[in-house]
Every structure is written in structure tokens, then in C-alpha cells.
Amino acid sequence: MNHVPGSPANADDEQILIHGGNNQVAQAIIEALEDQGERVVVVSRSGSDRTDSSSSNARWLSGLTDTDQACSSVHTLIWIGPFEPLESVMGMLGSLSRVIAFSSSSLDNKADSADIHEQHVLSALKDGETQVRLQCDAAEIAWTVFRPTLIYGLGRDRNLTRFANLIDRFGVIALPMAANGLRQPVHVMDLACAVLAVIQQSSICSGVYSLGGGDRLSYREMVARIFVSLDRPVRIIVLPMWMLRCGIWFLRRRRRFDDVNAQMLLRMSRDLIVDHQAAVRDLAYQPRPFKPDRQTWQSADDVRIMALSLGSE
């Protein structure tokens, strides 16, 4: 019989396993779980990359085998990242009673993308969600799949933080005329709160939940708020699409921007938002509005380096 989270039997041995630890979503979840006094095992290929990992109670592993002691006491698996190894990991966890997996709202918002790489990613996400549902249902394990929108908050995303870095460096951003599609950026700590809600409410039925931010705003307004967060005057240049496509081609030649493509420009005119009322109803989900400040765009490493620099002056 699978162990039910929160029951008194062997409570001291209960653990939550997070697979995909070197990710900003995982970082937020780890902090939230530790604040709740939960015992956490984190699996990451490269081990811990947290600058404060020495003060963390989480146990970091570079891999997991069926002989690992953690496998016998994990009741909840939180899956972040590619779904491919999910089946083998689930097979190692004999006391598993719940799986929480992160997918993406891109399955709804990018279904018609003409970019081959994006279609490959979407196909993998769709297959992964199906894998979670089928495997968990077969094993009578509760499952929850989250589909977040545009994630920000810990300075490690490759979307809004990238905009912030460019704005901070050049003081100006170029957008197409039709950059008026609605966006719903979601703070990574709000995602962590949703995870806590699932863990703490064992009666929640299995299902898929969309998770968006507290504001729905145009692409142009979203970028303008990034300027404000950096105490910069809002300087948005409107350029024709052909010129922006040339800029995309130039950026893709640099490794840091190899994931940028022309489809992103076309989507700036489309609404990429979600209805998260199911999460509000079932998880008491209350995402914050999009009101970033400069610290929003700084990773833990950036903050630590700044503190060391100030301390040496």
C-alpha cells in the first residue's frame, strides 16, 4: 500500500524528492519546502549549484539508484525538466504516493508554431504529460501537472531577465508595431506556493492546472515595467518586422541567444494567457501582480558577488 502524505506512520522517514534541482523553479520549491520543515532530496546531474547550499538542509545527489536509501522513504516526487527518465525514477521509489510535474502553457499557446525546434519541444512535453498520467494511474499514484506561463523572479530565466539585462546595458529595446498581445508573467515563488498547496491537501484529485501571473498586460506594457524596475526611462523603439528579423539572425549567431527565433516576434501580437481559476478554486492560488524591482533580475550568485564586493570596500 502506498504511503499517504501527512499520515503519522514513519513520519520521520518521509522525504520529498525533487528531480531537476539546478533550475529556478526547483530553487524556489526547495526554499519553500525547507521553510515548512520538509525533508528534501534534490537530484541534479551536476549536484548543487546553490551558493548557500552549505546552509541548506536539502540532500543533493548527482544521480539516483535503486540502492539509494532515499528511494525507500520518498512519498512525493516533484519533476522539473525533460520527462524521459521519469519512468525509471518512479520505479525506484517504492513508497511513492504523489507526483507533481512541471510542463508549460506553451502546449496551448505555441501549438501552431512553424519553428521545428519548438515543435519538437512541444511534442516532448505532450508525450511527457501523457506518460505521467498513464504511469501514475496504473500505479494508483496521485498526479498533478502544472502548466505555468512566462516565469520570472530569481534572475535565471532566459526570457524576461534577458530583456532586463539588455535594457540595463543599452537603455533601449526594439519591438514590432504589433507588440500588443497580452502576457501573464508568473513569479517563480507563486509556483512554489502551488506545489505546497498540493502537498498539504492530500484530497486534491489528479489533474492539469494552468498557472499564470496576477496581471494580464500587453507585451509593450510588460517591457515598460521592466524599464521602470531598473529605474530607467522607458525607451522602446518601433522597428519594421524585416529589420527585427535581421536582428534575430544576428543574435542567433551568439551562443547566449541561440534559442531566439522569428516566431517569437510574430507571437508578440497574440494573447498568450491562461485561465487559472481551477488553481484558484482547488489550491487557493493567489499570484502576485507583475511589479518587479532590480533585485528581481539578480540571481543568488549575483547577490552574493555584490555582497562580497561591498564587504571588501
| Statement: residue 6 has pLDDT above 50 | no
Q: Where residue 240 falls among pLDDT bands split at 50, 70, 90?
A: confident
Lowest mean pLDDT among 27-31, 66-70, 278-282, 299-303: 299-303
Q: Where residue 148 falls among pLDDT bands split at 50, 70, 90?
A: very high
pLDDT score at 66: 62
pLDDT score at 73: 86
The answer to the question of residue 91 being in a domain is yes
Looking at the structure of the chain, the number of domains it has is: 1
pLDDT score at 103: 94
pLDDT score at 307: 35
The answer to the question of residue 309 being in a domain is no
The answer to the question of residue 300 being in a domain is no
Instruction: Please give the residue range of the domain that contains residue 117.
Output: 11-154+186-214+272-290
Which residues make Cβ contacts (< 8 Å) with residue 220, sequence separation at least 6? 175, 179, 180, 236
Q: What is the per-residue pLDDT across 267-309, written as a single tens digit (0 to 9) for each?
A: 899 999 999 999 999 999 999 999 999 999 997 655 443 333 3
| Statement: residue 93 has pLDDT above 90 | no
Q: How far apart are CA 298 and CA 155, in angstroms?
A: 5
Around 182, how many Cα atoms within 13 Å sit in the side-chain half-sphere? Answer: 11
How do beta strands 182-183 and 217-218 pair? Answer: antiparallel
Q: How far apart are CA 104 and CA 98, in angstroms?
A: 20
pLDDT score at 155: 92
The enclosing domain of 149 has a CATH number of: 3.40.50.720
pLDDT score at 206: 87
Q: How far apart are CA 143 and CA 76, in angstroms?
A: 10
Its pTM stands at 0.85
Lowest mean pLDDT among 6-10, 50-54, 173-177, 297-301: 6-10
DSSP codes of every residue in the chain: -PPPTT-STTGGG-EEEEE--SSHHHHHHHHHHHHTT--EEEE-TT----TTGGG--PEEES---TTSGGGGTEEEEEE-S-STTHHHHHHH-TT--EEEEE--THHHHSTT---HHHHHHHHHHHHHHHHHHHHHHHTT-EEEEEEE-SEESSS--SSHHHHHHHHHHHS-EEE-TT---EE--EEHHHHHHHHHHHHH-TTPPSEEEEE--S--EEHHHHHHHHHHHTT----EEE--HHHHHHHHHHHHTSGGGTT--HHHHHHTTS------HHHHHHH---PPPS---GGGG--HHHHHHHHHHHHH-
Q: What is the per-residue pLDDT across 162-207, written as a single tens digit (0 to 9) for each?
A: 899 999 999 999 999 889 999 999 999 999 999 999 998 867 778 9
The answer to the question of residue 77 being in a domain is yes
The answer to the question of residue 95 being in a domain is yes
The answer to the question of residue 250 being in a domain is no
